[in-house]
A and B are shown apart, each in its own frame.
Chain A
Amino acid sequence: MSLLNLHLKVWRQNRGQSGHFQDIEAPEIPDHASFLEMMDIVNERLISAGQEPVAFDHDCREGICGACSMQINGVPHGPEKATTTCQLHMRKFRTGDTIWIEPFRASAFPVIKDLIVDRSGFDRIQQAGGFVTVRTGAAPDANAILIGKEVADAAMDAAECIGCGACVAACKNASAMLFVSAKAGQLNSLPQGKPEKDRRTLALVRQMDKEGFGNCTNQYECEAACPKGISVRWITKLNRDYAVAAMKEAFVGQQERAEGGE
């Protein structure tokens, strides 16, 4: 084990106030610590010195919950490919490095404190259409509906999205298209999601626009930053599904009923 001496530039901000960078020295950081453990060490020292610790989001610390965030040296979750901040290790840095640590920046993700941002916009998008309507009560037979292997695999790829918001953070337009397309694509691909496909697609996109996320300009920074490697081809599918759903809504309307009043 070797120890690293690092210079941190950390964003400090209280909700509704303007923020600034604070220079924090972080000497003797073990190189086998994770990035969040490094932050823990820094915070312990700040507390001992009677200073305010740095607020940051974290939960499972095993790369599956989507709670940790942070823009590290200009990249969401730091420089490692397909890795969350909690799974990023300090051995990826060199002693003497200066590390810039910022919150995910988007108007739709307002800063709560320091590095913690409010990502509840994602929850509201999910609530608008990221579900399938099922009967509760008797559990259906697990394999009653046959699903092709390729379809199941693709839906699982989309389901890998942990909703961390790195796609929004990486995009120059703060667009949430990768997140929304993964949620739409996962359900729109499967037979259980087909009946509500059009209304789901319209609802998800409308809520996304309402939350104030930007528009996709096909640069794929989201895919490069995604800790789960969600493919931008889901965005292609969302574009296609949305065009079909919107045109059906305009020109086809609801299904005609045989016993209409007229």
Chain B
Amino acid sequence: MSAVFDPLFRFYASSIGKKLLVALTGAVLVVFVLGHMIGNLLVFAGPDAINEYGHLLQTSLHGVGVWIARLGLLAAVVVHIIATIQLTRQNRAARGDAYAKHKFQVSSTSSRTMIWSGLTLLAFIIYHLLHFTIRAGNDYNGAAYKTDLHGETVHNVYKMVIDGFSWAPASIFYIIAMGLLYSHLSHGVSSLFQTLGFTTHRNAPMFKTFGHLYATLILVGNCSIPVAIWLFGYGR
């Protein structure tokens, strides 16, 4: 057994091994945020559409589906964070004495602040799960948030979202977090193609543009929900 596990541990211990894991788990999360956004945009299709979507997620594979997804995402997040913290600590140690003057010629500020945008996003994710998934500190689990859909009593996701974003501080925090997600994705998406070894001279500009477009799409799509509800009174 150790004939297989020793090389795998050595792979994780190496710099490129950890980076590959960061890229692979990053890819999972990149795909997830797009799916999550598309699902959420159903709020603009009316109460029945998003309530039915929520019910579908909760009941897929007899209720096991949502847990498979949650555990998979949790594993991806945990590996992504642990590996990047280890890498960042090594990077700090590798510089030792700082330069009095250090001019960056080509790198973006976003790319140099990945650890901070990432850790702030972790704080946001915890808040977001408490807010809409666990529904702690609010009454979104109560009877007022049940509704009738095709004769079945289901959770009223629509009302929860409208009420959630009617509170200004929540909307503002969500919008700030999406700004940081934009920053994180603007470097992360094109970067993962480099780490996974897919980038070539020819496709490098395409991956870079794709990364920025992807980040912009997620920013606009996700922010449209709190902006519509909080600023323009959609659904209120």
Interface residues of A (CB under 8 A from B): 9, 11, 19, 21, 71, 73-75, 100, 102, 105-108, 170, 172-175, 205-206, 208-209, 212-221, 223-225, 231-233, 235-243, 246-247, 249-251, 253
Listed stretches B97-105, B149-157, B161-169; interface member: B97-105
Q: Bound state CA distance, A243 and B15, in angstroms?
A: 11
Report 18 cross-chain contacts, Cβ distance below 8 Å, ordered by A residue: A9-B100, A71-B99, A105-B96, A108-B94, A172-B91, A173-B95, A174-B94, A174-B96, A214-B95, A216-B15, A217-B114, A218-B190, A218-B191, A223-B106, A224-B106, A235-B194, A239-B197, A243-B196
Contact B93 A212 (CB under 8 A): yes
CB atoms of A209 and B105 under 8 A apart: no
State the Cβ distance, A82 to closest chain B Cβ, in Å.
12
B17 partner residues in chain A, CB cutoff 8 A: 242, 246
Contacts of A251 in B (CB 8 A): 4
Q: Is B216 an interface residue (CB 8 A)?
A: no
Decide if A253 touches B3 in the complex (CB within 8 Å). Answer: yes
Contact call B112/A219, Cβ cutoff below 8 A:
yes
Segment with Cβ contacts to A, from B33-41, B64-72, B199-207, B221-229: B199-207
User: B90 at the A/B interface (Cβ < 8 Å)?
Assistant: yes
Question: When chains A and B are docked, how far (Å) is the Cα of A240 from the Cα of B197?
Answer: 5
Most chain B beta-carbon neighbours within 10 Å: one of A9, A102, A215, A241: A215
Q: Mark B180-215, 1 if CB is under 8 A from A, else 0.
A: 000000010011001111111100100000000000
Partner of B15 from the list A208, A218, A231, A241 (CB cut-off 8 Å) is A208
Extra contacts, 6 of them, besides A239-B19, A250-B8 (Cβ < 8 A), are A11-B100, A74-B102, A215-B18, A224-B105, A231-B201, A240-B197
Q: Which residues of B contact A250 (CB under 8 A)?
A: 4, 7-8, 11
Given contacts A224-B106, A233-B204, A235-B194, contact A105 B97 (CB under 8 A): yes
Tell me the interface secondary structure of chain B in the complex: helix
Residues on B with C-beta less than 8 A from A221 are: 104-107
List B residues 69-117 near A (Cβ within 8 Å). Answer: 87, 90-91, 93-108, 111-112, 114
CA of A249 to CA of B204 in the docked complex: distance in angstroms? 30
Considering the complex, give the chain A residue whose CB is closest to the CB of B12: A246
A214 to chain B, nearest CB (A): 3
Q: Which of B16, B91, B98 contacts A217 (CB 8 A)?
A: B91
Contact B101 A73 (CB under 8 A): yes
> Are A173 and B200 within 8 A (Cβ)?
no
Closest to A242 in B: B16
> Given A214-B94, A220-B106, A220-B107, are A246 and B14 neighbors across the interface (CB < 8 Å)?
yes
In this assembly, does B20 line the interface, its C-beta being within 8 Å of a C-beta of chain A?
Answer: yes
Residues of A within 8 A of B100 (CB): 9, 11, 21, 100, 102
Q: How far is the CB of A16 from chain B (nearest CB, A)?
A: 13
A219 nearest in chain B by CB position: B107
Residues of B with C-beta under 8 A to A208: 15
Contact residue among B11, B16, B199 (Cβ-Cβ distance under 8 Å from A238): B16
Nearest residue in B to A104 (C-beta to C-beta)?
Answer: B99
Whether B106 lies near A105 (C-beta < 8 A) is no
Q: How far is the CA of A205 from the CA of B13 in the complex (A)?
A: 11
Known contacts: A74-B99, A172-B104, A250-B7. The answer to whether A209 contacts B14 by CB under 8 A is yes
Nearest opposing residue in chain A for B193, CB measure: A236
- CB distance A237 to B197 under 8 Å? yes
Q: Tell whether, in the assembled complex, residue B16 and residue A239 are in contact, meaning their CB atoms are under 8 Å apart.
A: yes
For A169, give the chain B residue with the smallest CB separation: B99
Which one of B14, B105, B199, B201 lies within 8 Å of A206 (CB-CB)?
B14
A2 vs B208: C-alpha distance when bound (angstroms): 45
Contact assessment for A246 and B11 in the assembled complex, using a CB-CB cutoff below 8 Å: yes
Query: How far apart sit A253 and B6, CA to CA, in the bound complex (Å)?
Result: 12
Set of chain B residues within 8 Å of A239, measured between Cβ atoms: 16, 19-20, 194-197
* B18 contact set on A, CB distance < 8 A: 215
**In whole angstroms, how far apart are the Cα atoms of A174 and B102 in the complex?**
12
Q: Which residues of B contact A206 (CB under 8 A)?
A: 10, 14
Nearest-neighbour CB distance to chain B for A69, whole angstroms, equals: 13
Closest 4 CB pairs of A and B: A240-B197, A214-B94, A74-B103, A219-B107
